[in-house]
Structure 1
């Protein structure tokens, strides 16, 4: 702060030093003026000026030290050490701006919350005709047309489900319920929902669960598995998807391995980025780039680590590593 103050007042300091140098120069050139006396006066003036700067430094920087200490805390923007007219102007402007931005932020949050509620309500409304459509398709006799409609219905259902969870992600901490979850029942339910799509593409499942139970939130784990299975089915053809679980170093791992097209090595660091849809199939307009992004966000809230390994043209393996029990104690106490 001393350096900043000296820079701020450098014009005053330069003016003072210039005047003292001028006095000495005049005394030096004019023999009628005693040089020693002027030198003594200049010396005393410098001492007084230094003391003056020290006093002014304490008074003038108190306000700015308090301002600097505030940081981003707009709730404490009223500065009690504003004494000079300029400081009072600064304090008034900052207070008014802080109140304005706080009000704008509050209005924006209300607007976003209303928009979220409207969208969630719309999603739930759309699910009703989708259920009706499913019942109508089940009664169709044309199996070929039925399969095509089922695939399109499934795409709409998955997109709506993704939107629903995208809106819930910011509030996931309020929605967690950690419990012992049976992997077999969870996986079979998700596979059953993808049955028609898998049959069309000739995809089967090979499930081997050495550890059939994990401690996690069943609803959000289902969402994560749904996204990974959807990706695996989407990019595979006439092959099996291998699903396994095992215990390693005291942590349960769930592995989902497909034999699909794989991921380009240059894309691997970006697959969890929001909106990223791959560089090898950039013309795929059906991709949203949100599935793996939301999966990563949900995994972070559940303290689940996601590892991905892929070879282009050979397939992709996703590994979910579940945390130890002690981690959940910390997670639920936050």
Structure 2
């Protein structure tokens, strides 16, 4: 810190040294001036100047240190002995900080209003969407019925994704941890995708040895929905295998498909927001949000998501649930 201060005051120090050199030079060329007296004067001046530098360093650095410490409030009202320049800087910083804080508050308010309006819109759209589902069920043309059911499901899943995307930042306020029946959650999500799976000739195989986990059922259903949607989307006329078992006191749930798989260069990025694919970059059906939101929700539930995949051989997503004792310790329940 002191080195920085010396660099900042380098021009002052240089001016002082030049003045001392000038005094010695004059005494050297003018025999009427005592060189010994001038050297004595220079020596005393150096001592006084060094004391002055140390005192100024302590005073000025105190202001800059408080400037760093006060970055959250920028309140300098408690400083009684500010120099004129320090007071000007403090007032300017405080004024700009207040302006920025007001701007941030206004932006946060607008974002909250926008979020509330979007959530309200999503809930309103669900009503005609439910009515549309009932109308589709009454169709006698089976081909048209399958096509419309598929398009209805796409809209339903996209709305559901948007709804949960808005809720995830406040997910901790919505959690209800309880002993959850894994089988019923999985079967409920498979039933939702039934019409899509029939259209694509996709079946399911189940091997659920471990059927209960300690978690939030609603958010677990959302995570599984994203994994199943991803598996069905990139599979064709094949089976999706869903298994669960206990390993080292933890429940492991795996969702394995035999679809097109994921390129090795994409694997580290599939959970990033908005990332779709480099090998299939032209795929307009992908939003790049499903796996990102699944990971965000899983992190809040202390669930670890891993994936193994290879092009043309399918993908296996693995959910590792926390141990019951660890979960209680982490969440403070």
| Fold shared by both chains (TM-score > 0.5) | yes
| Higher mean C-alpha displacement, 295-304 vs 91-100 | 91-100
User: Which residue number corresponds to residue 2 of structure 1?
Assistant: 2
Q: Is the 8 A contact 1:67 1:79 kept in 2?
A: no
What is the CA-CA distance between 1:231 and the residue it aligns to? 0.6
* Distance in 2 separating the partners of 1:211 and 1:161: 28
Q: CA separation of 1:43/1:49 partners in 2, compared to 1, >3 Å: closer, same or farther?
A: same
User: Which residue number corresponds to residue 240 of structure 1?
Assistant: 239
**In the TM superposition, what are the counterparts of 1:116-131 in structure 2 within 5 Å?**
116-131=115-130
Q: CA separation of 1:216/1:65 partners in 2, compared to 1, >3 Å: closer, same or farther?
A: same
* Distance in 2 separating the partners of 1:331 and 1:219: 20
Structure 1 alignment gaps of length 5 or more: none
Task: Provide runs of 4+ in structure 1 moved above 3 Å.
Answer: 75-79
Does 2:63 match 1:48?
A: no
Does 2:38 match 1:22?
A: no
Q: Is the 8 A contact 1:77 1:94 kept in 2?
A: no
* Distance in 1 separating the partners of 2:22 and 2:75: 48
Does 2:201 match 1:202?
A: yes
User: Which residue number corresponds to residue 302 of structure 1?
Assistant: 301
What is the CA-CA distance between 1:109 and the residue it aligns to? 1.0
What is the CA-CA distance between 1:16 and the residue it aligns to? 0.9
Q: Is the 8 A contact 2:202 2:238 kept in 1?
A: yes
What is the CA-CA distance between 1:331 and the residue it aligns to? 3.8
* Distance in 1 separating the partners of 2:222 and 2:271: 15
Q: Is the 8 A contact 1:256 1:318 kept in 2?
A: yes
Q: Is the 8 A contact 2:215 2:301 kept in 1?
A: yes
With the length of structure 2 as denominator, give the TM-score of the two structures: 0.96
* Distance in 1 separating the partners of 2:209 and 2:216: 20
Does 2:38 match 1:38?
A: yes
**In the TM superposition, what are the counterparts of 1:174-213 in structure 2 within 5 Å?**
174-213=173-212
User: Which residue number corresponds to residue 317 of structure 1?
Assistant: 316
User: Which residue number corresponds to residue 60 of structure 1?
Assistant: 60
Does 2:152 match 1:134?
A: no
* Distance in 2 separating the partners of 1:287 and 1:79: 56
Question: Number of aligned pairs?
Answer: 333
* Distance in 2 separating the partners of 1:221 and 1:107: 35
What is the CA-CA distance between 1:79 and the residue it aligns to? 5.8
Q: CA separation of 1:329/1:75 partners in 2, compared to 1, >3 Å: closer, same or farther?
A: farther
RMSD (CA atoms) = 1.4
What is the CA-CA distance between 1:322 and the residue it aligns to? 0.4
What is the CA-CA distance between 1:97 and the residue it aligns to? 1.3
Q: Is the 8 A contact 1:190 1:222 kept in 2?
A: yes
Does 2:283 match 1:284?
A: yes
What is the CA-CA distance between 1:76 and the residue it aligns to? 4.2
What is the CA-CA distance between 1:78 and the residue it aligns to? 4.7
* Distance in 1 separating the partners of 2:263 and 2:80: 60
Secondary structure in 1 matching 2:65: helix
| Higher mean C-alpha displacement, 274-283 vs 189-198 | 274-283
What is the CA-CA distance between 1:314 and the residue it aligns to? 0.8
User: Which residue number corresponds to residue 93 of structure 1?
Assistant: 92
Deviation string, structure 1 residues 59-104 (Cα, Å, up to 9, x no partner): 222211211223x413646562561111111111111111111111
Q: Is the 8 A contact 1:305 1:322 kept in 2?
A: yes
Q: CA separation of 1:77/1:159 partners in 2, compared to 1, >3 Å: closer, same or farther?
A: farther
With the length of structure 1 as denominator, give the TM-score of the two structures: 0.96
* Distance in 1 separating the partners of 2:182 and 2:297: 17
| Higher mean C-alpha displacement, 178-187 vs 76-85 | 76-85
Secondary structure in 2 matching 1:74: coil
Q: Is the 8 A contact 1:79 1:91 kept in 2?
A: no
What is the CA-CA distance between 1:137 and the residue it aligns to? 1.1
* Distance in 2 separating the partners of 1:94 and 1:82: 17
What is the CA-CA distance between 1:119 and the residue it aligns to? 0.6
